[in-house]
Structure 1
Amino acid sequence: MKITKYLLIGFLVISLGLVGCSQAESSQDTNKDQMTTEATETTEKQDDNAELTTLKAVVRSKGGLKVEAESRGFKIVMDEPTEEGGTNQGMNPCEAVLSAFGGCQTIVAVAYAEEMGIDLQDYWVELEGDFDMRGFGGVEGVFPGYTEVRYKIHIKSDSPQEKINEFISYVEKVCPVGNTIASPVKMVRSDIVVEK
């Protein structure tokens, strides 16, 4: 099944959200700072049984707390609400993380429903997450990220409940964004480039 591109788009959105979250924090100090990674996509073989696909993006400050993320020519604008010092021109990066998770689950469900014999008429996910704002403010000992993410899956289907339960378990098992959130990812800063 040729669904790799769709799953990777979901994975990319969460990457943009995480990068953008860091960008919003640094742009409080200066609008000239930019967090940049190159925007291309490459695929290479690790061994006979595995394939590594690397997604890349560029995220730039656009003034104030607004940032623009770009990958493969597609753009996402992220911002903060006015009460948080932004101009409310887009969802914030942490909201983008939730959206990426729900988007990835939905894509996986649509991609695999027919193959798994599921009558999928509609599918959507409601999500919410909690985090302590003190962590974003740099308070020592307070985790600056989501401490819990809750989601409710809605599925319209005439398939038996037992089969739907198995299907949803599979969706959760292979969803790249869900797995990225649930399991710590190695974060590697390759460089700091000071532009003149």
Structure 2
Amino acid sequence: MINGINVDALHRMVGDVAADAAKGEVEFEVRSRWAGGTRSEARVDRWRLGGAEGPRDFTIVVDEPEELLGENQAPNPQEMLMAAFNACMMVGYVAGCSIRGIALEKVEIHTRGMLDLRGFLGLDKTVKPGYDEIEYTVVIKGDGTQAQFEDVHRTVIETSPNRWNIANPIRLVSSLVVEG
């Protein structure tokens, strides 16, 4: 075990996926429902890995600050986006260091971005509803060298799914069901 990661199991998983690409196919699913006001609750009930379904049992609550018409009872959607972005990369840093035998003392990721509400509110068509830029800083400490940490950093940049999804356009397929 290094950094709480079973490195032998990690090597086995990498070997299994390298030998059979179907074992690396992962599907995630989240169902969100409105819970009044600006609050929503997302349910995570299951996931699939290599064609096998596994149970999950999590509720994620989302709300807005009072100034954005919420009750300030939970992180807002943008904070959840950044938390998911950070968490995905965090796995990459911890696993990447573990597989290289680097013991960690600390990994922190600080992320921020600025939105212009005129875009979200539809007040100005020249203002986009999303970010122009998201900044993040990674602080890492452990028994690795500067070069090793830079290698892990490059690997995370190249392989983090959430980083990739934010940095690159992905196709979104939308449908609407109106109940009568």
TM-score using structure 1 length: 0.71
The answer to which structure, 1 or 2, has the higher relative contact order (CA under 8 A, 6+ apart) is 1
Q: In structure 2, what is the equivalent of residue 114 of structure 1?
A: 98
Displacement of 1:151: 0.7
Within 5 Å, give how 1:74-85 maps onto structure 2. 74-85=58-69
Q: In structure 1, what is the equivalent of residue 146 of structure 2?
A: 161
Displacement of 1:49: 4.5
Q: In structure 2, what is the equivalent of residue 181 of structure 1?
A: 166
User: For 2:43, which of 44, 65, 70 is the aligned residue?
Assistant: 70
* Cα contact 1:118–1:164 (8 A) shared by 2: no
Once superposed, what is the RMSD of the aligned Cα atoms? 1.7
The whole-number CA distance in structure 2 between the counterparts of 1:158 and 1:111 is: 15
Larger Rg: 2
Structure 1: give runs of 5+ residues left out of the alignment.
4-47
Q: In structure 1, what is the equivalent of residue 29 of structure 2?
A: 56
* Cα contact 1:122–1:157 (8 A) shared by 2: yes
Structure 2: give runs of 5+ residues left out of the alignment.
1-6, 11-19, 46-56
State the one-letter code of the partner of 1:70. R
Q: In structure 2, what is the equivalent of residue 152 of structure 1?
A: 137
Identical amino acids, percent of aligned pairs: 35
* Count of residue pairs brought into register by the alignment: 151
Q: In structure 2, what is the equivalent of residue 134 of structure 1?
A: 118
Displacement of 1:93: 0.5
Question: Is 2:84 aligned against 1:100?
Answer: yes
Q: In structure 2, what is the equivalent of residue 29 of structure 1?
A: none
* Cα contact 1:131–1:148 (8 A) shared by 2: no
Q: Deviations over 1:93-135 (max 9, x none)?
A: 0111111111111111112212123232221111111221111
Q: Deviations over 1:74-101 (max 9, x none)?
A: 1111111101111111111011111111
The whole-number CA distance in structure 2 between the counterparts of 1:118 and 1:133 is: 43
Q: 1:146 is paired with a residue of what secondary structure? A: coil
The whole-number CA distance in structure 2 between the counterparts of 1:164 and 1:102 is: 17
Q: 1:170 is paired with a residue of what secondary structure? A: helix
State the one-letter code of the partner of 1:156. K
Between stretches 58-67 and 133-142, larger displacement belongs to 133-142
The whole-number CA distance in structure 1 between the counterparts of 2:176 and 2:143 is: 54
Runs of 4+ in 1 over 3 A off after TM superposition: 48-52
